[in-house]
Amino acid sequence: MTHSAPAAALRHYINGTWEEGTGSVLTSVNPARPGETVAHGPQASTEQLDRAVAAASAAARAWAGTPMHERGAILLRAAGILERDQERLGLELAREEGKTRAEAQGEVLRAAQILRYYGNEGDRSAGEVFSSPRRGERILVVRKPLGVVGVVTPFNFPIAIPAWKIAPALAYGNTVVWKPASTVPLLALRLAGALAEAGLPAGVLNLVIGPGSLGSALVEHPRLDGLTFTGSTGIGRRLAAAGAARGVPVQAEMGGKNAAVVLRDADLDLAAEQVLLGAFRSTGQKCTATSRLIVDGAVADYFLDRLRARLDAWVTGDPADDGVHMGPLINGAAADSVSAGVEAALAEGAELAYQGKAPGRADPDGGFFLPPTVLELPGDPAAGAANTAWREEFFGPVLSVRRAADAGQAFELANQSEFGLSAAVFTQDVTRVLDAVDSLDVGILHVNSESAGADPHVPFGGARKSGYGPKEQGGAAKEFFSHTTTVYLRGGNPG
């Protein structure tokens, strides 16, 4: 079954106008059928980037002075547009990014939900009021926008991650210059298009599509007042350093090596289902995906059998087709890098505990598919901890398993990582749950559910190497997208 559609023309949104690029040509393809072009056209040049930043800068004062309710009304209208177009956008997202249609449409609705959450921000508290030690005085802590915010987003959630950065940036009165991953330009056009259709004034949101060098030019731009990024730890740290060198606040959400811990008293069927979804949905291309599994040795054989049985029914194929559970990786380089990681892990002593089926890559037009893979790492504690598959984020459909003697050791193994984004623990014993809350060094903990997933009204972000700067979403976003002015307020006539 094919779902081909004509290729979209690449455009850039600068100062309220859709422009053609003046840089080199970009072609984005369907990763399930790389012969099929999804979007095509010239990328933005640095001259266009400069104009985008200038437009954002020129629009900043008027936007900051627009009542929060008016700013919010535009976000609410954009949410309605995404909901109206959810089916078409879901199909386009599946075609461009490679996640299944159900997940893709779910992501579009999630973006709408995020726009709604921040669209209602005007109804919430905009600061704090303190009493003063001096008579006749109150102290107000007032929230103000940063100014012009640079937004750099990854491929794996082409509409939800941009929404959860752009919506709070705009709600708190900032203007934005956005550079999305160049593998997913179509969904960027769609989100910017929805906000434009919703009535965003010229210059408030600017979209420039281009290569990594355009992203570097954006993050080093002297007129930025803030920078928010999601992507790899290496790039995130470089951005943080670039921001620090110029005194610009940076919010960076980076990698994960998230563990699921299955204890002996857990509901093992529920745990097997959730571990499957956490590890293999979106082809493991989520920073919150489960990539490590620690299972109590007493139940490990039974648990792994349950997991294998589910994997036998897990279908890898074109994500636009019905009945498919897992699509391709985003591109050939990503698939090669995951395969190389698996090879390295095996050479270092891992055993192949399961390998599923996937369409071949041999055909020149073959998609960037890999089979779901489970590795069992050596029982020896030092060798297990040292294995590449335990330490490095593969960002693909690979789950690495180790067995633990008891809950205490399981939590120790889970903490054996430089990352600390999310974790999942499976148990029915509340004492163990409380142990997990206290001992796992993560920003997000799921109890009896998979390690991925995020609601827009609560903080999202990780510990250790996984995050830098204030967290995202919910009230946490306010910490990054606004700063405070402390106002010592007295009447003009002290009498």
Query: Which residues are at the interface with ligand UN1 (CB under 6 A)?
Result: 154, 156-157, 161, 230, 253, 286-288, 452-454
Helix (H/G/I), strand (E/B), else coil: 66: coil
The minimum distance between CB 168 and ligand UN1, in angstroms, equals 14
- The per-residue b/e assignment along 259-292, b for 16 or more CB within 10 angstroms, e otherwise, is bbbbbbebebeebbebbbbbbbbbbbbbbbbbbb
Closer residue to ligand UN1 (CB): 219 or 452: 452
Query: Of the residues 92, 121, 253, 450, which is catalytic?
Result: 253
Read off the tokens for 319.
């994500």
How many angstroms from the chain centroid is the CA of residue 30?
Answer: 20
Total Cβ atoms within 10 A of residue 131? 8
**In angstroms, what is the minimal distance from the CB of 110 to ligand UN1?**
8
For the stretch 177-209, what's the b/e string if a residue is b when 16 or more beta carbons lie within 10 angstroms of its beta carbon? bbbbbbbbbbbbbbbbbbbbebebeebbbbbbb
Nearer to ligand UN1, 329 or 404 (CB): 329
- Cα–Cα separations (whole angstroms), residue 239 to 45, 98, 216, 325: 21, 28, 9, 35
The angle that helices 212-219 and 233-246 make with each other, rounded to 10 degrees, is 30
Residue 282 Cβ, how far from ligand UN1 at the closest point, in Å? 8
Between the alpha carbon of residue 434 and those of residues 126, 163, 437, the distances in Å are: 34, 33, 5
CB of 171 to ligand UN1, least distance (A): 19
Is 253 marked active-site? yes
C-beta of residue 278 within 8 angstroms of C-beta of residue 262: no
Closest approach of Cβ 448 to ligand UN1, in Å?
A: 16
d(CA 79, CA 108): 9
Specify the residue, 147 or 231, whose C-beta has the smaller distance to ligand UN1: 231
In angstroms, the Cα distances linking 477 to 151, 232, 351 are 14, 20, 42
Closer to ligand UN1 by CB, 366 or 453: give it. 453
Q: Is 487 helix (H, G, I), strand (E, B) or coil?
A: strand
Q: How far is the CB of 256 from ligand UN1 (least distance, A)?
A: 8
Tell me whether residue 55 or residue 398 sits nearer to ligand UN1 (CB atom). Answer: 398
DSSP state of 460: B
Shortest separation between residue 251's beta carbon and ligand UN1, angstroms:
11
- 111: number of Cβ within 10 Å: 32
Strand partners, 114: none
How near is the Cβ of 264 to ligand UN1 at its closest, in Å? 27
Enumerate residues 6+ apart whose C-beta is below 8 A from 382: none
| CB-CB neighbours of 488 under 10 Å | 11
Answer for the pair 16, 203: CB distance below 8 angstroms, yes or no: yes
> Can you give the three-state secondary structure of 136-161, one letter per residue?
CEEEEEEEEECCEEEEECCCCCCCHH
Q: Which residues are catalytic?
A: 253
